[in-house]
A and B are shown apart, each in its own frame.
Chain A
């Protein structure tokens, strides 16, 4: 189902990077951030909808998960692994990481990520990323 606006959920242990992501996504009319998690476990708890997160009015399921890889405790790969065991067919997952290693990219995609972007402070590159996320969302929703 194609929407006009998509909700995004940020997962990153760096407060700075979460802040930057918020500011970047503000420039997009199609994306709005609805929540953040500081590590993999928090993300999984939110997505599971257990405990306090069971209230989906306050804590809705996002359309897209913007996932960092290197986090203490459960990292991005752990989240991806867990997602494979679930069946969130409407959830688009995009990895946004500081690493540009081929092995990180291929492993992420192999574990089910729909896209992979490198964290950047360069405005032009940030624009490319935003458009990229929007396109991935559109494509994913078209398929389903």
Chain B
């Protein structure tokens, strides 16, 4: 107890010191940030003391309230907030301490600062009683004006600062709640925007899903249609095949009879009859040939062929020597290039070269010398085979008919042929996964190019 008193007394002394220095540095006008007046309560039974104290603290510019008893003081305290209570210790009836005790009982008045005004002689006993009530200070009578003023202004300042802090806290709370409202509003707006965005996304997804389904449907339909077309195509080829098969025999037999007539009855026929019989025979033979070509053409479509790595030079050499043997009466300049080894079917490739080279031989019949060039170039990482001749050529206008079935660009009287050969060659090349195309100029010859696919 004695040590706490000593501390309180020591800090009181320090407060006194700092208060005096505060007053010295501060002008009385420069009281606080607000013009709001603080309430000061003076509690004393003697009027003269009221007047004296008021006079001292009047120029602090605050609101002074007088109470002449403890009870009156309490009444004031319950009505307003006070920054400081100047409480006379010696009062008849309820003294200062009892009043302070009563004040402190009220929860709202627990911390209101109290300065006891006490006579010097009562110091020892009063101090201990007073300080135990908390938030108190002492001023001794006779009152030193500077000290009173200094102490009061400290508590007034404290009060005002506290009020300001409370106000700022209130402002902050208000601003905070304002902000919260705005945040809430913004959050709601965002939620709405988000919702509508979600709806849009769902719509978008639905549309995408629909599109995907439509695509799948479409692909299915395309694939179905392709299968239908393939089947129809196959059916047509089968039909053509069986017709060709059935028609071949009669044409062979017609030709057979014209041969017999020409062999055994030639001399009995007039020149006209001889001529007509010869023509019948030729036509029948052509038809037979066409049937054979068709059968060959549609026959390969159905068969599966073995592919091997074959040196194409061996095929070209074979074909050329066999053709050379058949036509000893022609003068042909052969230019043979180098050929690669590629994955292909031997007999089919032989048909390709045989057909293309035979064509070159046929269509250069009017040339002396006929020049036939067979070679292979590497173009764009591909092996491109070609057969070139200096024959009658063809009009590029009709190039797309070249590989069509029964399409011929020359009259049969000029050059025989059924118009199946190139269709067959084209089919074989395509079966190998390759491409075939041609370039030509009338009377300047033609070149047939082809590639074999990856196999």
**What is the interface of chain A, defined by CB distance below 8 A to chain B?**
14, 16-17, 20, 23, 98-102, 119-123
Q: Is B256 an interface residue (CB 8 A)?
A: yes
Decide: B245 and A16 in contact? CB cutoff 8 A.
no
Decide: B249 and A121 in contact? CB cutoff 8 A.
no
Of chain A, the residue at the smallest CB distance from B296 is: A100
Of chain A, the residue at the smallest CB distance from B256 is: A121
Contacts A121-B285, A121-B288 hold; do A16 and B259 have CB atoms under 8 A apart?
no
**A95 smallest CB distance to B (angstroms):** 15
Given contact pairs A16-B253, A16-B257, a sample of 14 additional A-B residue pairs in the complex whose CB atoms are under 8 Å apart: A14-B253, A17-B249, A17-B253, A20-B253, A98-B249, A99-B245, A100-B292, A102-B303, A119-B249, A120-B252, A121-B259, A121-B284, A122-B285, A123-B259
Decide: A121 and B255 in contact? CB cutoff 8 A.
yes
Contacts A99-B245, A101-B299 hold; do A119 and B259 have CB atoms under 8 A apart?
no
- The B contact surface, by secondary structure, is helix
Inter-chain CA distance A134–B148, complex, in Å, is 158
List chain B residues, Cβ under 8 A from A120: 252
Decide: A20 and B245 in contact? CB cutoff 8 A.
no
Contacts A23-B260, A101-B299 hold; do A121 and B252 have CB atoms under 8 A apart?
yes
Of chain A, the residue at the smallest CB distance from B259 is: A121
**What is the interface of chain B, defined by CB distance below 8 A to chain A?**
245, 248-249, 252-253, 255-257, 259-260, 284-285, 288, 292, 295, 299, 303
Inter-chain CA distance A69–B86, complex, in Å, is 144
- The A contact surface, by secondary structure, is loop
Of chain A, the residue at the smallest CB distance from B288 is: A121
**A64 smallest CB distance to B (angstroms):** 21
**A96 smallest CB distance to B (angstroms):** 12
**B20 smallest CB distance to A (angstroms):** 132
11 contacts between A and B (CB under 8 A): A14-B253, A16-B253, A16-B256, A17-B253, A23-B260, A98-B252, A99-B245, A102-B303, A120-B252, A121-B256, A121-B259
Decide: B249 and A14 in contact? CB cutoff 8 A.
yes
**A131 smallest CB distance to B (angstroms):** 19
Of chain B, the residue at the smallest CB distance from A119 is: B252
**A62 smallest CB distance to B (angstroms):** 23
Inter-chain CA distance A17–B251, complex, in Å, is 12
List chain A residues, Cβ under 8 A from B257: 16
Of chain B, the residue at the smallest CB distance from A70 is: B249
List chain B residues, Cβ under 8 A from A102: 303
Inter-chain CA distance A102–B296, complex, in Å, is 11
Of chain A, the residue at the smallest CB distance from B281 is: A121
Of chain A, the residue at the smallest CB distance from B245 is: A99
Contacts A23-B260, A121-B285 hold; do A98 and B255 have CB atoms under 8 A apart?
no
Nearest 8 pairs of A and B residues by beta carbon: A121-B256, A121-B255, A16-B253, A121-B252, A20-B256, A98-B249, A121-B259, A98-B248
List chain A residues, Cβ under 8 A from B292: 100
**B213 smallest CB distance to A (angstroms):** 47
Inter-chain CA distance A98–B295, complex, in Å, is 12
Inter-chain CA distance A102–B303, complex, in Å, is 10
Max chain A Cβ within 10 angstroms of own Cβ: one of B252, B259, B303 = B252
List chain A residues, Cβ under 8 A from B245: 99
**B346 smallest CB distance to A (angstroms):** 14
Inter-chain CA distance A17–B253, complex, in Å, is 7
**B291 smallest CB distance to A (angstroms):** 10
Inter-chain CA distance A17–B249, complex, in Å, is 9
**B92 smallest CB distance to A (angstroms):** 145
Inter-chain CA distance A123–B249, complex, in Å, is 16
**A16 smallest CB distance to B (angstroms):** 5
Max chain A Cβ within 10 angstroms of own Cβ: one of B248, B249, B260, B285 = B249
Of chain B, the residue at the smallest CB distance from A120 is: B252
Inter-chain CA distance A23–B253, complex, in Å, is 13
Inter-chain CA distance A98–B249, complex, in Å, is 7
List chain B residues, Cβ under 8 A from A99: 245
List chain B residues, Cβ under 8 A from A121: 252-253, 255-256, 259, 284-285, 288
Of chain B, the residue at the smallest CB distance from A103 is: B303
Inter-chain CA distance A98–B251, complex, in Å, is 11
List chain A residues, Cβ under 8 A from B288: 121
Inter-chain CA distance A102–B255, complex, in Å, is 25
List chain B residues, Cβ under 8 A from A23: 260
Max chain B Cβ within 10 angstroms of own Cβ: one of A14, A16, A99, A120 = A16
**A129 smallest CB distance to B (angstroms):** 13
Inter-chain CA distance A101–B292, complex, in Å, is 11
**B265 smallest CB distance to A (angstroms):** 13
**B319 smallest CB distance to A (angstroms):** 20
Inter-chain CA distance A121–B289, complex, in Å, is 11
